[in-house]
Structure 1
Amino acid sequence: MSWTDGATWVGTIVSIIAGFFAWRQAQSAKSEAENAENSASLAEQMRDQIAHRKAQSDLGELNNTLMSSLQAMHKYGPGAKSVTRLGYNASKDASSVRDLTTEMGLKRAMLEKIFGNKIDGFQNNLVSLLQVFANSQTEDQYVAAGCSIHIELTELGGNFRDALDKDIFGHT
């Protein structure tokens, strides 16, 4: 056997050993890539869960503002007696509803995700009813406009509670 044959055998053995190490590195890299993919999937699930909890919290806060608005407009609601309106302040009552429409505007993306385009109708109706309420000249006009606002707020409140119940309990 000549020295070139020996060099060939040594080179072949070194190549086989190097190939083995390359194969092990490839397996290790594949495993690390799978771990990274699993971590990314887990991170995305956590992000979605955090976003869901934030939306649920935002809807709960919005529901509280709605209940405050409903309480302020209750004195105009169907069946309300004129005694409940003694010393009423229409501007203050309307202010709580304006706060609600402002908050609805700020949380529009979340509301559209839950209610779709239906939320535009509610918000537009509330704004137009508030304009009628603000332009009222007599107590009868205030009562009629306030009653319409109360009814709209009651319907919106029912939709909010349905959405919260569906989200929390999985049913309506």
Structure 2
Amino acid sequence: MASVGNEVLLIENNDEAFVWTQRNEEILIELREEEVLKGNKNNTTFTKQSWKHITEELCARAKRNYSDMQVRNKYNQLKKKHKDFKSLLKETGMGYNAATGEVSATDEVWDKLIWVNKSTKIFRKKGCKFYEKLCSVYCDTTTTGSNAHYSTQSPSNDGDNDDDDATSISPSTRNEESGFD
């Protein structure tokens, strides 16, 4: 804020910490987690109705107006944070406390990891407090029931392993049968 005479002017601040407090980020993650549990996430993103609900509810709970673009940008930033932290945990010499989201390693391990990937530096002191929740939002979903199959197998047309499954039909035959060219 700046003061000009008796007027007070509000100066827009684009600083990420100003726009997204830790509490508002947590609210956003919780809202996304709720939408995932409701089944409102198809493959990699949420339905249009879910995006609208998330944005409206976030604005109400955070008492701040976030644009659709800000919410979507934060979604992508959190997705990258989740991916980076997940990769970090796979590294040899890393310790992880799920209760606090903190990671630990020797200085040598940290120096090596930061040299290879600068984005890991943020996790050295802060960890990733909401990692478990981010996993429920960003991790791939698993199919169950009649559509489930191992990733090393092709899904069959009727659930049987006979010769008329999808792997034994040529692509051109499958296209003719389905009406696609």
Task: Give TM-score scaled by structure 1 length.
Answer: 0.25
Tell me which protein shows more helix as a share of its residues: 1
Larger RCO: 1 or 2 (CA < 8 Å, sep 6+): 1
TM-score normalized by the length of structure 2: 0.24
**Greater strand proportion:** 2
